[in-house]
Each structure stands twice: as C-alpha cells, then as structure tokens.
Amino acid sequence: MQSLLVSRALPDAVMEALRAEFEVTLRPTTQPMSEDEAATALAAYDAVLPTLGDGFTAAAIGRVATPRCKILANFGVGYNHIDVGAAVAKGITVTNTPGAVTDATADIAMTLILMAARRAGEGERLVRSGEWTGWHPVQMLGLHIGGKTVGIVGMGRIGKAIARRCQAGFGMDVVFHNRSQVADVGVPARQLGSLAEVMAVADVVVIAVPGSVDTHHMINAEALAVMQSHAYLVNISRGDVVDEVALIAALAAGQIAGAGLDVYEQEPHVPDGLLALDNVVLLPHLGTNAEEVRSLMGMMAVDNLLAFFGGDEVPNKV
C-alpha cells in the first residue's frame, strides 16, 4: 500500500476513500505547508495530496535529489503553489481537480457582484451596529446590475459560467478579454481587443484568470485608471492578480465605486487599507465552500491517484 500525505483534512467521505486505498498521514493543522515541509514530504511519501498555498516551489523541489513522491494530486483547480516544471523535471506528475469548482466559484462571483453593487456588506454592518434609523428614499443607493455591462477577464470554464449567469439571469451585456480567441461562450458575448477596452466599458469587471507569473498584478493602477467611476471590480481568481496597493488607492479616492474580493495577495492576511474601507466586500476565500463541491473535488483527486498508481491514464494531469 502506497504512503500518502494529505496536507489538510478533507471531507469525511474523501478521507475514508483515501484510507481504503493508501497508508494515509494527515497533517494536524489547517495552515499551508512550508517549503521545508514540502521538501521533507517529497522524500518521505509515495504521493502527496496538497492544496492552496502549500509550498511546492522550485526551491523546495530542488532540495530533494531523488524524490520518493511520484505524484502531487492537487486538491483544487489552481496550482500556482506548485512549480510544475520543477516537479516534472524530477519525475513527479502533477494533477488538479478542474470542472468540480466551476459553478460554485461562479456563484461566489455573482454573490460578490450583488453584494458590492447593492452595498449589502455595508448595509449588514449598519444594521448590526444598531445605528440604522429606518428606510428612506435615498439611503445607501447602489448600482442596479440588470441590463448593465459585465466585463469578464479570463473566459475559461469559470468565466463562461459567470457569463451565463450574468446574461441569462440579469440581462447583462457580456464583454470579455482572453489571451486566445474564444469561439463560443454559450451566451451572446463580445471579445474585445485588449484588457483596457474591457475595463473601460464595463459597469462590473470580474477577474477569472489563473494565477501565474503572466497574470501577476495584471490588474494594476493603469488598468484601474480606465474604469468608470461608478464601476465595480470583483476578483475570484487569485489574490496576486490584483495589485492590492493600487486597488486600495482607487477605492479610497473614489476612482471606482467599489470592489468584491474572495482572494488576497498574502492570504490569510488582509491589508488594513482594505479592512478600513466600506466600499469593498471581503469574503474568506469561499469560492468552493459547499460540501458537495469539496467532496467532488476530493474524489477527483482520489481518481487521479488511483489512475496513476494503477498504471492508467491520469484524468486531470496538468
């Protein structure tokens, strides 16, 4: 029976499935693995099931001359915490769990769009403070999103799911930026020629690109500067896609109307500058936080592991 390190506890059904097939070691913490832990794991286990933030960097992988570990079966679609090139060079297969997260993440995007545009977070805090004095006609006026333009940056599975919700559910016009041509979004949508064009015309901009060197600080001061003053920015991708310093400055100056964030540059740290602002909705990375979704993600990781050790084609190799 192969040895498997699970970096953080997964839903019970997933853990049971893993223990039925592997000699499982579970780390007794919810914190990400450090580079030291990652290097040690590569030398000590046949397989590792890592997830968001675990330190499988080039430096960590490079410290192990001949890894015992042959597969990193990542729990999650995003794998920017794993240096895939360094892993493959050491003979380590890397897999992920795409598809399972699509609808749940798109739903969180819609949650943030509505919460930010309708000032729901601010309103909830007002009620809890005991300072709400009752309804009146011009109280906390927000943006009605029906019929407005949504700009989606990144038209992959999640981007398309967001587009469907916005267009079919709210009658929004959909424009988008993508590094390659997208022939069919599934709903009426226009691919514009540049990021700047999307940022400039959209009433709501949603970021749905993978985290990578190419997308680091893609949404910077220059990109934010072309947004309309009544517009909102929503990020459900990776925290470092947005330059948080530039975003804080834009929000504080009223350069844009508001933002909704589910991810941050240095999770779980959230800058004081964001915490102090009323015009930003802050969620604790809830993108896939539904039990059935997390279970499905886990079972996809199980399938990847079983296929690998069974000598079959791995379903979700990255």
| Predicted confidence (pLDDT) per residue in 237-283, tens digit | 999 999 999 999 999 999 999 999 999 999 999 999 999 999 999 99
CATH 3.40.50.720 given to domain 102-282: yes
Query: Which residue in the list 21, 35, 197, 267 is annotated as catalytic?
Result: 267
Question: pLDDT grade, residue 318 (50/70/90)?
Answer: very high
Q: How does residue 42 score in pLDDT terms, banded at 50, 70 and 90? A: very high
- Mean pLDDT of all residues belonging to the chain: 97
Whether 238 contacts 53, CB under 8 Å: no
pLDDT band at residue 126 using 50, 70 and 90 as cut-offs? very high
Query: Which 3-state string (H, E, C) describes 143-166?
Result: CCCCCCEEEEECCCHHHHHHHHHH
The CATH number of 3-100+290-309 is 3.40.50.720
pLDDT attached to residue 288: 93
Active-site residue 285, yes or no? yes
| Active-site residue, 164 included | no
pLDDT for res 230:
98
Give residue 217's pLDDT: 98
With vertex at residue 24, the alpha carbon angle to CA 296 and CA 37, rounded to the nearest 5 degrees, is 95
Do residues 157 and 102 lie in contact, with contact meaning Cβ atoms separated by under 8 Å? yes
pLDDT digits (tens, 9 = 90+) for 134-161: 999 999 999 999 999 999 999 999 999 9
Q: Is 238 a catalytic residue?
A: yes
What value does the mean pLDDT take over residues 75-96?
A: 96
Name the segment(s) of the chain with CATH classification 3.40.50.720.
3-100+290-309, 102-282
At residue 119, the pLDDT reads 98
Q: Which of 165, 177, 238, 294 is catalytic?
A: 238
CB atoms within 10 A of CB 312: 10
| Residue 210 to residue 98: CA distance in whole angstroms | 12
Write down the pTM of the prediction. 0.91
97-132 per-residue burial string, b: 16 or more CB within 10 A, e: under 16 = bbebbbbbbbbbbbbbbbbbbbbbbbeeebeeeeee
Query: Could you count the other beta carbons within 10 Å of the beta carbon of residue 221?
Result: 14
